[in-house]
Structure 1
Amino acid sequence: MRPHSLRYCMFLFLALLLGAGPSVSSAGYLDRTIEQEGLRVQFSIDPVKEQNAPAMLQADQLVRIRMAVTRQADGHPLNNWNVGAWLDRAVSAASGAMPSCAQRVAGYLGGDLLQRPLLDLTGYYVLTLDAEPSISVLDPSVSFAGRTSLYRSLKLKGRGFDWAKTTDDAKLFIGLAEEPAVVIADLQTLQTLTHIAVPGFPTRLALAPDERLLWVGHVAAGKVARQEGASIIDTVTNRLVKSVPLPAGHHEFAFSDDGRHVYVTSRQAGIVSILDAATFVVIRTITVPGEPLSVVSFPSKGTVWVVDGKYGRVHRYTAQGHPIDSIALDSGIGPTKLSPDKRYVLIVNPSQHRVHVLNATTGHPMHTITVSGKPYDVMFSDQYVYVRSLESEQVALISLAALEKPDPKPQYIPAGSGILAQAREGLPIASTMGLTLNRGGAFLASPTERTVYHYMEGMNAPDSSLRSYGHTPMAALTIQRGLRQVGPGEYSAVVKLPSAGRMVLALASDAPKIRECIGLQVERAPVSKESERIAFEWLSNSVAHAVAGKPITVSVRVKNGVKPAADATNWFELFIVPTRGGQGVRWPLRADEQAAGQLIGEGILSEPGGYYVHIRGSQAVDATFSTLLVESSSDTIGTRGQP
């Protein structure tokens, strides 16, 4: 065979394997049918935004991967298919060879953390609501040898107080504690979409049962320009629909079974307002003698329970707000949860160190369980009730099956060595506990240790932990990443192509056993001047030293020759976070008049200890963090120089 013929055959082989990058049409970038092991898979890749979509796949582009799976024998859709998917370079960076499809899948399933794919479309992420303020996206698959698990961080304009996500893990809503705004984030792209202004400071966030509307309780917090009430946000259009003034106090929400009514408490005023869910008009108000701390709607019973913490009573009403009866418990009762099977109501009493269990049908008190350390939060798995306390490092687990028996006893597991009451930043109302995807365990945030612990049911203690250095987790939840079922036999994912070059998308399942690899050619994205990152380097050692209470000067230099703007709309700052946890401080960076391309930040740190120093700003920044060791002024450190 002639040399040019051999080269042509090799080129043809690679083109068939890796794809030739077809232009965008109604069929998208790729449309392929896979038939293996009795299954037919219609596989496609399309642009998320068809308008102005590039003709070929590009790095950093958002694309939608779709699979329609049916059984070849009868054409019925295949539901609950456990399929794995990974996108990686065609040529292995470790060996320089092109692995076979079976070798690729075996490597991914083997969990070799040194050879992870560029994009893993299996598993889950753990999200933490941080004090810094930010949301950390943690990848449990890369947590080893004390390494950070931080995959991505979403910066917020203020500390988050509560959050809520859609059940399809598409969107996340965050209410800010000190800003009159709700942040909306896209969980498929892990990016902030928008900020919605509301008249007051957000407290509780609650999604309506159909998840079309988000109800946001907000308070004035003593500010004349702010409003007590509730705001309604359309989760599809990301727009504010209406704001409704309500009596003063923290607001909790419950929704009627038929979707016609919304029940909203006003703690300080002692009022429960019943609103028409369609018109957002208050159609009835209920006066509670004390303080309505919780409200729970019972869809199948057509009743509403209001928990009065001041007088320790549970008031029951019809769905229309007419009184039924009142159940006496103990003063101090508060947060209330209905079990997933709708059989039990659990009410915690922090001051009395108790958890009350009531029959959801009759209202009859069944148990009073002692849980030490001021229990304040409840979460349900399929088998257990998790109870978190403010003044104990232990988490109580109560078997749901044991609630039908006399005298159920909790078992305890440690969630680190710190207690929640010691968190310097103050806890949000978002839960510090998040269920695992299989609902057989939990992720437990420990702010004082800046750690999230993983617990698997059946064990006596957490089996692993996650950390994101420089961030203090105050709440935790999990989201499924990658492919998920969106309809009968339909699976979809929106992904951001991580790199340019020859790629291979590997698919695998064990029931039935399928291995399929699809070649893709991804082009480089055009680089715009606005998208260039400004790279900084530290003009000091990686670990700098300073003295508490003395002025500190930190200098950085621009590496890539891009001159950073320094005006009202373009800024850079140092964000300094204690390694032990706590609120960070910000030092503005200003141009050094004596050195071109250099910026300096100045300030004083009064507390000795270790600090992480980050650079951030209005423009994209490329820089690692630095470590600053601040020693007590009584220590003799000589003249080590400034960091």
Structure 2
Amino acid sequence: MDQVQQAEQQGVRIELHTAQTAEATLQVALELRDATAGTGLSGLRPAAWLVSRDPSEASAERDAAGSEHSICRHKARSLLGGSLFARPELDLNGYEVLVLNEDASLSAVEPNFGFGGARELAHIDLPAPAFDWVLDRQQRRVYLSLPGAAQVARLDLQDWSLETVELGKRRTGALLLDADERHLWVAVDGGVVALHAATLEVRAQIETHPAELGPPTELLSSTDGRRLVVGHRESRMLVLIDGLSRRLQRRIELDTPPLSAAFSALAQRFYLTLAAGSGVGDGMLVSISARPPHPVMRVPSLPGPGLIRFAGEGRYGLIVHPQQQRLSILDSAQDQIVQSARLDGQPDQIAFSDELAYLRLRDRSQLLMVPLAAIGQAGQPIPTFDTVGGDRGFVDGFRSVAAAGLAAVPSGGAMLIANPGDRAVYFYKEGLAAPMGQFGTSDRSARAVLAIDRSLREREAAGRYETVAKPPAAGEYELVLFVNAPRIVQCFPVRIEGGSPAAERAAHRSPRSARTSTAAASIASARPPAPESP
């Protein structure tokens, strides 16, 4: 049942929508509009909590405090202060952490770094260890590739149920959701398959190289989803795909294997690093336009480029050179390297917060950080500083995965760091010398980490902030709303329907195991088409 309530403060009209769904989720939508003009107020960061509401206690508090609004302000102050004595039944400002383990499992955790430790929400057993994963924009589902089972899995982030689909006997690899998230592209032995994201049915398959060479190693698209690039190291093959028609456009045979690929939204170009060729001392950096006729250009680079990733709007690309232990900055507006720095280690992953680029050093338990404000300044040194990411090295003795071991915290200014050797996930807050918290992953090694944003986030409509959460036990509650600017404090009564409150509370506190269902998809065997000339 949809509950709609309205209020007005500080010239702002507030409209709260709450609804419980058949899937046992609570949908919360908050509309904030200018009371005079009726326009949505964008860019705000509303905070909200659901707290128990006892009518008899509320009446006594009102008599003592003098006004219901005073009580609401008191509750908001206590919740903002993070008091142990003012813990909400549902926090609509936080995030949950999904951990990809070395074994065939996932762990869903509610972190509580401020008070220490974490609460396990669910443990999900997989048919085989995961290699890659991708999170949808609504942050309601995660898709995973399971090479050992020749499967793709979809995890529902509300009830932790798991669906899998078998793709014949073809191993799965890298994953990519297209721009409108209607299709999931999956790297499989010999090519790529497009699955309908909602039904997991096969909608297209494109063969790019002999199946015995395994899945493509690079899979990415332009920001509008109109062009896809598929790269395979062993076959030295690069394939361009029309994302709308899901048809092969062009196959390019390279002189040397592609190592890493990234897309610059500003330049509308794909950039690939290539390995050094036989008898050639340097590797290469090439760019391919996302616009027809897709010209291929070589970009001057420092020796031995490896991983490449673009920051922010996509003008500046960070390129690491593992053998030379160097970092270089590519300016995509000029197609040239404009900065370079010596590194003390070999980075194997790059992640970004709003202010920093994080470089994980594979051969040790350290992270290097680069201020984004300092990159792109031609000829100037690149400042770096470091922090520890645990006690043990990140990759020694562990299988290779494409999923990232670093994840930016949704609220900004912090990074989650998965350290498999320590069997822990660390929380680093920017500005500190070392991580300020951590939680263990029991006897499992954490290979990758995702932060699932559970806060009220602005969606497509201006001034409309939404989230979906698991509701607390049945009963009477109060939603406490706080907005810093303009300053708004408002409380709304909310009723949660359900069964036995006591039984529901016990279930809400206990970690759950996932329900799993499996289907099979039809994948035809086909030989790759003949290559075209570049």
Corresponding letter in the other structure for 2:166? A
Q: Determine whether 1:301 maps to 2:273.
A: no
- Aligned-residue offset at 1:438: 4.0
- Aligned-residue offset at 1:291: 0.7
Range with bigger deviation, 264-273 or 29-38:
29-38
Aligned counterpart, 2:24: 61
Q: Determine whether 1:417 maps to 2:391.
A: yes
Change (3 A) 1:204 1:616: closer
Change (3 A) 1:430 1:257: closer
Aligned counterpart, 2:161: 192
Change (3 A) 1:506 1:305: closer
Distance 1:516 1:208 in 2: 39
Aligned counterpart, 1:489: 463
- Aligned-residue offset at 1:272: 0.3
Change (3 A) 1:497 1:617: closer
Aligned counterpart, 2:18: 45
Range with bigger deviation, 285-294 or 246-255:
246-255
Q: Determine whether 1:175 maps to 2:148.
A: no
Which string of whole-angstrom CA distances, capped at 9 and with x for unpartnered residues, describes residues 44-79 of structure 1? 223434xxxxxxxxxx83232222221212222122
- Aligned-residue offset at 1:328: 5.1
- Aligned-residue offset at 1:427: 4.0
Change (3 A) 1:178 1:102: same
| TM-score using structure 1 length | 0.69
Corresponding letter in the other structure for 2:93? T
Aligned counterpart, 1:626: none
Change (3 A) 1:364 1:510: closer
Aligned counterpart, 2:447: 474
Q: Is the 8 A contact 2:12 2:33 kept in 1?
A: yes
- Aligned-residue offset at 1:433: 0.9
Structure 1: give runs of 5+ residues left out of the alignment.
Answer: 1-27, 50-59, 220-227, 534-613, 620-643
Q: Is the 8 A contact 2:122 2:160 kept in 1?
A: no
Change (3 A) 1:390 1:115: same
Q: 2:405 aligns with which of 427, 432, 437?
A: 432
- Aligned-residue offset at 1:300: 4.3
Which string of whole-angstrom CA distances, capped at 9 and with x for unpartnered residues, describes residues 168-209 of structure 1? 32322222242222222233x152352233342222112223
Distance 1:131 1:318 in 2: 38
Corresponding letter in the other structure for 1:41? I
Q: 2:229 aligns with which of 263, 287, 294?
A: 263
Q: 1:448 aligns with which of 421, 442, 466?
A: 421
Q: Secondary structure at the match of 2:148?
A: coil
- Aligned-residue offset at 1:391: 0.6
Range with bigger deviation, 79-88 or 94-103:
94-103
- Aligned-residue offset at 1:279: 2.5
Change (3 A) 1:266 1:512: same
Corresponding letter in the other structure for 1:382? D
Aligned counterpart, 2:238: 272
Aligned counterpart, 2:488: 514
Q: Determine whether 1:365 maps to 2:337.
A: yes
Distance 1:416 1:490 in 2: 40
Corresponding letter in the other structure for 1:144? F
- Aligned-residue offset at 1:163: 1.3
Q: Determine whether 1:229 maps to 2:199.
A: no
**Structure 1 residues 98-497: aligned runs within 5 Å:** 100-113=71-84, 115-141=86-112, 144-145=115-116, 147-187=117-157, 189-199=158-168, 200-219=170-189, 228-247=190-209, 248-249=213-214, 250-256=216-222, 259-311=225-277, 312-319=283-290, 320-325=293-298, 327=300, 329-331=302-304, 333-403=305-375, 404=377, 405-422=379-396, 424-486=397-459, 487-497=461-471
Which string of whole-angstrom CA distances, capped at 9 and with x for unpartnered residues, describes residues 289-321 of structure 1? 111122334444354333212331123344434
Q: Secondary structure at the match of 2:421?
A: helix
Distance 1:143 1:427 in 2: 32
Distance 1:108 1:485 in 2: 22
Distance 1:230 1:114 in 2: 53
Q: Secondary structure at the match of 1:139?
A: strand
Distance 1:391 1:97 in 2: 62
- Aligned-residue offset at 1:270: 0.4
- Aligned-residue offset at 1:273: 0.8
Change (3 A) 1:260 1:392: same
Change (3 A) 1:77 1:127: same
Structure 2: give runs of 5+ residues left out of the alignment.
Answer: 63-70, 278-282, 517-534
Distance 2:28 2:268 in 1: 42
Distance 2:176 2:268 in 1: 20
Q: Secondary structure at the match of 1:458?
A: coil
Q: 1:87 aligns with which of 37, 50, 75?
A: 50
Change (3 A) 1:218 1:351: farther
Distance 1:379 1:71 in 2: 37
- Aligned-residue offset at 1:98: 7.2
Q: Is the 8 A contact 1:44 1:65 kept in 2?
A: yes
Corresponding letter in the other structure for 1:364? Q
- Aligned-residue offset at 1:117: 1.9
Q: Secondary structure at the match of 2:357?
A: strand
- Aligned-residue offset at 1:251: 2.7
Q: Is the 8 A contact 2:454 2:469 kept in 1?
A: no
Change (3 A) 1:408 1:503: closer
- Aligned-residue offset at 1:420: 1.0
Corresponding letter in the other structure for 1:134? S
Q: Is the 8 A contact 1:265 1:292 kept in 2?
A: yes
Aligned counterpart, 1:525: 499
Corresponding letter in the other structure for 1:345? G
- Aligned-residue offset at 1:285: 0.7
| TM-score using structure 2 length | 0.81
Which string of whole-angstrom CA distances, capped at 9 and with x for unpartnered residues, describes residues 257-277 of structure 1? 664321110111000011121
Q: Is the 8 A contact 1:208 1:214 kept in 2?
A: yes
Range with bigger deviation, 234-243 or 303-312:
234-243
Distance 2:102 2:244 in 1: 36
Distance 1:308 1:126 in 2: 34
Change (3 A) 1:151 1:143: farther
- Aligned-residue offset at 1:453: 1.6
Higher-Rg structure is: 1
Identity %: 25
Q: Determine whether 1:504 maps to 2:473.
A: no
Q: Is the 8 A contact 2:123 2:512 kept in 1?
A: no
Distance 1:361 1:618 in 2: 49
Change (3 A) 1:166 1:524: closer
Q: Determine whether 1:77 maps to 2:40.
A: yes
Cα-Cα RMSD: 3.2
- Aligned-residue offset at 1:417: 1.3
Distance 2:471 2:266 in 1: 46
- Aligned-residue offset at 1:288: 0.7
Distance 1:325 1:82 in 2: 44
Q: Is the 8 A contact 1:348 1:377 kept in 2?
A: no
Aligned counterpart, 2:532: none
- Higher relative contact order structure (alpha carbons within 8 Å, sequence separation ≥ 6): 2
